[in-house]
Amino acid sequence: MDKKKVDSFRKRLLTKQEELLRVVTKSEQDGRAADEEATQDIADKAANSYTKEFLFHQSDENRRLLQLVNEAIERLKDGSFGLCVACQGEVQQKRLEAVPWARHCIECQEKQDHGEL
Ligand SMILES: [Zn+2]
């Protein structure tokens, strides 16, 4: 992969990393704030735990994505970026452009989706 492309992927990944870090941190703070709010009646309590659960689930997804982005940045550093982590083949350019933190090429992703990897 040429340097210009690597640079543009790096820029996108770093932007995404920053964005996710902000979201993850914020939802953790919101979760705590929901905890601290004094809840008087049962309806409030139910709404509160619903909000907390929602925030929790959401931050879970974001955390997982952040992990993938971090790994992709590591691969940029060690030069294995753009290679499938399973078969070491090149990940399709189009796929990388859509999902720069993709770990697998399309074939391996399909195998993984079917539980074959
Ligand atoms: Zn593969």
Residue 80 Cα to ligand 1 middle (Å): 13
pTM over 0.85: no
Q: Are 91 and 105 in contact (CB under 8 A)?
A: yes
Residue 72 Cα to ligand 1 middle (Å): 15
- Backbone phi, then psi, for 83, in 5-degree steps? -105, 140
Residue 63 Cα to ligand 1 middle (Å): 24
For 33-81, the pLDDT digits (tens) are: 877 765 567 777 777 787 777 777 778 889 999 999 999 999 999 999 9
